[in-house]
Amino acid sequence: MNRPPELLTSPSNPLIKSLKSLERKKERTETGLFLAEGARIVGQGLACGWTPETVVIAADVAERPQIAALARAAEKAGARVVLAPERLMSKITQKDNAQSVVAAFRQRHLALTDLTPAAKTDPLYIALYEVRDPGNLGTILRTADCAGASGVILVGTCCDPFSFEAVRASMGSLFDMPVASASFAAFDAWRRGKGLTLTAASVNGTLRHDAAPFAKPSVILMGNEQAGLPADAEAACDHLALIPMRGGADSLNLAQATGIMIYEAWRQRGYA
């Protein structure tokens, strides 16, 4: 950094208060910002071209070469970079073991028309019908990213992908994975227009999940944690796939079921 960064010292500093307020959906909506924690995740956001407005760095680690490089990159991207003692870092994220870097990034909201799969690949999208648990959503973003999915579509009223919990569970994949939102009707019209096969994972499935065809451009549709998929959504699908179960539980956890489906699709594509 060219000049010594500002050092925050008081928990009543307005910047600390406004960053802390981003735990609430209302404040995230009003400001259009969200928080990401951890040097690796904040670095990933910067590397993916997301814009941080503010970056707070724990004063005791600011001189470390990796952290100093991150501070320089954040400043170059136009962020306000400040230092804070560890006790204030944990105030922002309400965690005892505070991360050494916390950043407020500007949110991005995509429409279906913004989704553009990488050239020369058959697209594979993951659609989540009214996902409500941010931990599930973040975990699914991470899995979709690991398997190189083309994007994730939030169908209907879903939880906020920019909540603390979702961002944490995504481990930075939120920055890599395009996430669009749509009603079911708009989503279904879009996927038909694109020639995407729609396969739902459902406990009502008649086809075993590894018999569902994923070699062609596809969407995997997953149901809500409590209610699954409504009958009209299942009726719109080309295939309903069941992941076998033999214990007493009536279903798998949503994020785990999604992981099994995504990896089956990728297996059928030869992990290419």
- Write out the residues near ligand SAM by the rule CB under 6 A: 201-203, 205, 222-223, 225, 228-229, 242-243, 245, 251-252, 254, 257
Sign of CA dihedral 141, 145, 147, 150: positive
Nearest CB to ligand SAM, comparing residues 5 and 223: 223
Nearest CB to ligand SAM, comparing residues 134 and 172: 134
3-state class of 218 per DSSP? strand
Strands 239-242 and 207-208: parallel
Nearest CB to ligand SAM, comparing residues 37 and 264: 264
Q: What's the min distance (Å) between Cβ of 190 and ligand SAM?
A: 20
Nearest CB to ligand SAM, comparing residues 33 and 201: 201
| Tokens of residue 248, six digits | 């007493």
Q: What's the min distance (Å) between Cβ of 202 and ligand SAM?
A: 5
Nearest CB to ligand SAM, comparing residues 77 and 252: 252
Q: What's the min distance (Å) between Cβ of 212 and ligand SAM?
A: 10
DSSP state of 118: P
φ, ψ at 47 (rounded to 5°): -65, -30
Q: What's the min distance (Å) between Cβ of 252 and ligand SAM?
A: 4
Q: What's the min distance (Å) between Cβ of 184 and ligand SAM?
A: 14
Q: How far is CA 89 from CA 41, 112, 122, 254, in A?
A: 16, 37, 43, 33
Q: What's the min distance (Å) between Cβ of 70 and ligand SAM?
A: 37
Buried b / exposed e along 198-218 (16+ C-beta atoms within 10 A): bbbbbeebeeebeebebeebb
Nearest CB to ligand SAM, comparing residues 62 and 229: 229
Nearest CB to ligand SAM, comparing residues 116 and 253: 253
Buried b / exposed e along 106-138 (16+ C-beta atoms within 10 A): eebebebeebebeeeeebbbbbbbbbebbbbbb
Nearest CB to ligand SAM, comparing residues 31 and 256: 256
Q: What share of the chain is helix, strand, coil (3-state, %, to 5)?
A: 40, 20, 40
- In whole angstroms, give the CA distance from residue 204 to residue 113: 31
Residue recorded with tokens 């050494």: 100
Buried b / exposed e along 54-66 (16+ C-beta atoms within 10 A): bbbbbbeebeeee
Q: What's the min distance (Å) between Cβ of 18 and ligand SAM?
A: 36
Q: What's the min distance (Å) between Cβ of 246 and ligand SAM?
A: 10
